[in-house]
Structure 1
């Protein structure tokens, strides 16, 4: 039996297989409200055969959006739009749907990638950005405001409020975004946090704010639903976050009651050279966290698109789950096709089953 297509519990939630669709920004919302694009995007992923679908990075406050086109979850209109999407999905799919709650910090107030991806100008609606230190991500980007204790309190409260909204909207899972150079990464990493107060300096100080957010989210999110976190294994530059700090952060979150740890990397230093053309290039970070906290559910991600590689990772115990992103956009039925490749039932919805591979003339015969 394929290990990739075996069930596993994530806290109170049991997933039918170990394939998760990672959060992927669509930059298609209006005032934070998901649009018809999100309806079809999430709808097709809900019938993709994956065990879990996680909605894109969603801002917990307006200042926390990456772009003006990001989804948000700080007001009633956004909450109700997400609730409608979840209600509709539940009429045709029981796939668990999660949402990633995020704050972009100094990487906020930019344009969507296909609109240039740079810092917004005042006439384009630029807004004040916030970070651990008053240092821009790039020289021509906004210089963020170094967060005060009042700013920290506001952001913590925003994560709590967004979690309650996600619960009311019907999400099965929340993933805390502490990766890719966004706000929590900016505090955690020594290359972006140069504070001299209790939130800067040592690892313990740099982790103080991210762990405070994590605890607030843990307290606000129901224990009857699953809670995970995505964080960086590396900044890919000299002097970046150390691996022992990464594993300590993972252990702290597991001890706090987080149901899975999702390891990724990069995005915190604009000139970092990331070897993203190597399949499974981030796997080492998931392996390190799994070795340090073997009781934890660990999710690996990063150019894992070959079904056999995904199977081998799970079967060998290097990670418990595989997250796919680009592979799912390229082939929304990746999980169905991977199941066939690994000798499992394709698992198509009944409306599509008659088009399944087993019904294709000559399929499976030697060519």
Structure 2
């Protein structure tokens, strides 16, 4: 093959390469500045959530007080970091250690990691890697014996059938509280079910909007069954992850639960009363829905104008508002609700219910 044939074969079928110099010129024409002095050289770190940031700020304030007291310039050497670790440990109390109230190894490691992260974020200066790594091993393998730190972790407690039933009975049969709106009672019961039956976090459910829900009717064992898929775009730690956690809700469960424990029934009551379905106005309309003839399911669409509406907003005397329900406040309210019905304090933390749901614990109904 001659030279011209070889050259022709190189160009045949391939994408023509772009000159890198042309790309740089294109960037300059698009607004790229040639003066780099306007760009700061500070590292960019992950943004903290509004609920997490105060904990990091707290550790930074402790360090500032410590540095002023002991005239320390920065956390650059292990002598200063070991001393600061002891300061944090001796000023932290833990309820697990009934005798001395010493904190756990894990709690001190978490606090020191928060401090190191926040110090670097606030000062744009890196702590030497050997110091950051050594602090963790120092707490875990050396310092724990000096005070000593508490080693045992609190065992999770699960919401039992008896606890759950007592809470529902109190809400519907015993509770004579004059709610601002009777819809609040339905909301409370539904929130309890969703937290007890799914692995969703407090904020995931309390801040849920209708665009986060997908409702459909499908065939199941020859009968129509309503299913609701619940997926939050702002799940904790998964903002940039395409696969968000999903929490499916089914009309039927095996073994069959009593109606007061049917999570879908109460959620449908909220949906229908809010008038959010596009083509279904009443409970009869919903129950008469059938899958498409040519498929095994039918999407029960929302009205376009309600996609950004909250599923569980705060209530007023006139009904639902546009205000987001405070997840922390509701968690405290639910724990207080449980204490009325004799649940042990170790069970009251609503996070334990979510943990049980994630592990598929049969402690739940």
Q: Aligning the two structures, in what range does the TM-score lie when normalised by the shorter sequence?
A: under 0.3
TM-score with structure 2 setting the length? 0.24
The structure carrying a bigger helix percent of its residues is: 2
Radius of gyration: which is bigger?
Answer: 2
The structure carrying a bigger strand percent of its residues is: 1
